[in-house]
Structure 1
Amino acid sequence: MPQPTISLIISTYNWESALYLCLSSVLYQKVLPNEVIIADDGSCERTRDVVAFFQKKFPVPLHHVWQEDNGFQLAKIRNKAIKKAQFEYVIQVDGDLILDKNFIKDHLKFAKKEHFVRGSRTRMGISLSQKLLETKSIHFSLFNSDIKNRFNGFRNYYIAKLLATPQQNSRKMLGCNMAYWREDALKINGYENNLIGWGHEDEEFATRLINNSVYKIKMKHYGFVNHIYHPERARENEVGHNDLIQEVISSNKKKATNGINEL
């Protein structure tokens, strides 16, 4: 199959120093996406300044999609970014990540019709994260003692391909590193805008993909990202979000009630 065109969506909220590293790692990619879209859930002017700085450097279009800060509305801003996207395949990450230099290239190898991809990540500790943020550097060793899940960062295509069996009933996701066909996202009406606050909007999205016979591929040791440390977010809405997912499973729901079409 010919390689698809790529829209890279990066979600962010008021952490411009981390976004700076993330966008630096995009520039460092061996294969660039066709466009980059910043999905901004209400950040202040400092984030806009970082985007403007990189817009002058990027060889591909860098768009900034912003919405008013009305609390944690990640699902809604991702829908706005998907709606803005111009290309066939969406790779989705968060703005608190440093992408491996092969990230886009690796995802392209696992792009397969009627499938979506869950990627993996390493986790940097406080010390290493602060050092990189202060120096604006994206370069570090996977053998650094302040990295957790470092095994995820050892890249091997043959192991990745061996582990990448399509899964029809696995809904657990990692929304900070996932990929899907834009036409599939539109078919299910995108994310559920009613999911407000932290928790499992990506899993609910994946459940409806599966209900439409689009199955998950788990990509390990390939196309990985490196997570910059930050404290855990409040999870007060998590129980309600999990209840919604169970409802989507039991009813075999295929489209979001309040999604892209309702924006």
Structure 2
Amino acid sequence: MDKIDISVIISTYNSPAWLEKVLWSFNQQTFKNFEIVIADDGSGAATKQLIDAIGKEVSYPIQHIWHEDNGFQKTIILNKATVTSKGDYLVYTDGDCIARADFLKMHANYREEGYFLSGGYFKLPMSISQLISKEDIESQQCFDIDWLKTHGLKSSFKNNKITAKGLKEKLLNKLTPTTATWNGHNSSGYKKDIIDANGYDERMQYGGEDRELGERLFNSGIKAKQIRYSAICLHLDHARGYVKPEMIEKNLKIRAVTKGDKVLKTPYGIKKL
């Protein structure tokens, strides 16, 4: 195989049923020159068994980067996965986001030196999240608005995220009031830019830990492109038992320093400065 063009870094923690759906979705990608790097924040044996089994069936290579469970350490495992990745261009997403067949093609088409790309996700209720099968992913009917409505999805402006095509899609990317930020579920950038920023700040736990990396990229002169209506993924529902208010408060303080002091590199990243 030629040199890998794109590395897709997927964060996961003890959600093998959701991760399986996500890995099937990457087997449907129209853009083929990629690898998956799973950033595993300490999952148990079931996740390893799933990755070993599915690795024999999918068309792309998988690296499984794991460390022992020691609480929420997503930023640490993301940095390890970033270093291990083989592509020059990195797409970051989560183990609960099913990617549409053109997801990587959109990231590949929109990428540009001096920019990172900011995508969104389309939230599904638990009932539909559980319902989606391998067959629904292979046929892509889980991205069909009529199929989703048949299974209980409510009508909403947000449905444009999965129905917008062509000119409407470009227009909505331009007009959306949502700021283009670095989102852990759907963002991409050049590996050299992420390494220059020293990756994720490993002090940070849940709440804005992804955005802080984007804020450092902004400080170094990199701009963001909005692709929330182009690079589409379905977000599977789940509980968030790991969220604690003190985590969010601590992260907000770190982000305030990043913005106020125009920080370019975190001293608490890939390399400890």
Q: TM-score normalized by structure 2?
A: 0.87
Aligned to 1:213: 221
Residues 8, 33 of structure 1: 8 Å contact kept: no
Q: Is the 8 A contact 1:122 1:147 kept in 2?
A: no
Q: Which deviations, in whole Å up to 9, do the C-alpha atoms of 1:201-260 show, x marking residues without a partner? A: 111000000011011111132111000111244242112211211111110100011111
CA contact (8 A) 2:180 2:225 kept: no
Shift of 1:180: 0.7
Question: Is 1:187 aligned with 2:196?
Answer: yes
On the 8 A contact 1:117/1:219 being kept in 2, the answer is yes
Matching of residue 120 in structure 1 with residue 128 in structure 2: no
Alpha-carbon distance in structure 1 between the residues aligned to 2:132 and 2:171: 34
Read off the aligned partner of 1:239 and give its amino acid letter. E
Indicate the SS of the match to 2:145: coil
1:91 and 1:180 in contact (8 A); partners too = yes
Q: In the aligned structure 2, how far is the partner of 1:7 from the partner of 1:155?
A: 27
Segments ≥4 residues shifted beyond 6 Å:
none
In 2, the alpha carbon distance for the partners of 1:57 and 1:64 equals 16
Q: Partner of 1:61 in structure 2?
A: 61
Contact preservation (8 Å) 1:121, 1:153: no
The CA distance in 2 between the partners of 1:194 and 1:41, in whole Å, is: 15
Residue 145 of structure 2: aligned partner: 142
Alpha-carbon separation, structure 1, partners of 2:190 and 2:153: 32
User: Taking structure 1 as reference, are residues 58 and 8 closer, same or farther at Cα in structure 2, changes over 3 Å only?
Assistant: same
Query: Is it true that 1:261 corresponds to 2:257 in the alignment?
Result: no
* Distance in 1 of aligned mates of 2:125 and 2:70: 30
Asked if 1:45 corresponds to 2:45, the answer is yes
1:1-263 equivalences under 5 Å are 5-132=5-132, 137-138=136-137, 139-140=141-142, 141-143=144-146, 144-145=148-149, 146-147=152-153, 149-162=158-171, 172-196=181-205, 198-233=206-241, 234-236=243-245, 237-262=247-272
Indicate the structure with greater helix content. 2
Per mean C-alpha deviation after superposition, the further-off stretch among 28-37 and 149-158 is 149-158
Question: Structure 2: which 5+ residue stretches go unaligned?
Answer: none
CA contact (8 A) 1:7 1:90 kept: yes
Unaligned runs of 5+ in 1: none
The count of residues paired between Structure 1 and Structure 2 equals 254
Output the CA distance in 1 between the equivalents of 2:173 and 2:145: 23
Give, in angstroms, the shift of residue 164 of structure 1: 5.2
**Alignment-mate amino acid for residue 38 of structure 1:** I
- For residues 162-218 of structure 1, the C-alpha deviation after alignment (integer angstroms, 9 at most, x for no partner) is 4556xxxx574421000011000000000001112x111111000000011011111
Are the aligned partners of 1:163 and 1:218 in contact in 2 as well (CA < 8 Å)?
Answer: no
Say whether the 8 Å CA contact 2:24–2:58 is kept in structure 1.
no
171-180 vs 135-144, which moves further: 135-144
Question: Are 2:120 and 2:228, in contact at CA under 8 Å, matched by a contact in 1?
Answer: yes
- Calculate the aligned-residue CA RMSD, in Å: 2.0
Deviates more, 1:24-33 or 1:147-156: 147-156
CA distance in 1, matches of 2:83, 2:153: 36
Percent sequence identity over aligned pairs: 28
